Amino acid sequence: MSIYVYGVIPAADAAAWPGVNGIAGGTVRTIVSGDLAALISDIPDDMKPGKREDLEAHRRVLGQAVEQGTVVPMRFGIVMDDDDTAIDRLLGRHGDELANLLRELDGKVQMTVRAFYAEDALLRAAMAGDEEIQRLNAIIGGRPELETRNERVALGERVAAAMDRRRARDSDALLERLRPLASDIQVDPPGSDRVALSAQVLVRRDLRSALDAAIAELAPALEGYLALRYIGPLPAYSFSSMELEPQESAQAAHTGEQ
């Protein structure tokens, strides 16, 4: 049997680990080295985790870990030969780095905040009050495309630029509301034109209720323009940057889930 590695927790928390089921139904257990403990479970040697149910199990275990306390989450897919290999190559070789991450994350969780524009809301907001857009629209109105090609190109560029400015302004305004409550914020690429903000927020557990309240206040105020999606608490995937060398794992990977 090989072992699958989910994450690293303080050794002091290992005794209270509840032994939930992980990938392939294996019981998740702990192995301890010094002040660190790895969350692992046995899997068949020929198994290559990659199915949806494997990812769900990985997330479920880390979700349990963040409920219990502090965890440095490993990226999905880290497999090692046995317990001794994990102690040597992970807990031993990266002990100082992992200990520092656990200290930095102690008492904190990750929350995801995403803001989506209502249909055509960004376009309407971007065009509102822009006299040049209105002028170009007036020139184009009702005239053949070939006759107004230059104006149409200019209009498209003007609208695109106006939308970019509006999205940046909306993103900054939302981040301004989040920053006083956050220990750190990572802004992800929007992913689509409808996304105003996709942010990962590292927040102290004792400030979670204040962040919850801030989101609850924003949601009705933005109704009809932006819809908020608020997810968490999550393990601090976005704030646990640590790379493993290729030979340290059967699948070269790094902490943090994509």
Counting residues of the chain whose pLDDT is more than 70, the rounded percentage is 92
Angle at 236 between CA 60 and CA 59, to 5 degrees: 15
Instruction: Quickly tell me which residue has 């109105």 as its tokens.
Output: 141
Q: Give domain 109-234's CATH architecture.
A: 2-Layer Sandwich (3.30)
Structure tokens at 225: 């323009």
Is the separation of the CB atoms in 39 and 98 below 8 Å? no
Q: Can you tell me the mean pLDDT for 84-107?
A: 93
Check if 2-94 and 109-234 are the same fold.
Answer: yes
Closest C-alpha to 80, from 256, 257, 258, 244: 244
Condensed to tens digits (0 to 9), the pLDDT of residues 108-157 reads 999 999 999 998 888 788 777 677 777 777 777 777 777 677 777 877 78
Residues 6+ apart with CB under 8 A from 202: 105, 108, 109, 110, 182, 183, 184, 185, 186, 236, 238, 239
- CATH top-level class for 2-94? alpha beta
pTM of the model: 0.80
**What mean pLDDT do residues 172-185 have?**
96
Q: Is 59 exposed, middle or buried (0-12, 13-18, 19+ CB in 10 A)?
A: middle
What are the domain boundaries of the chain? 2-94, 109-234
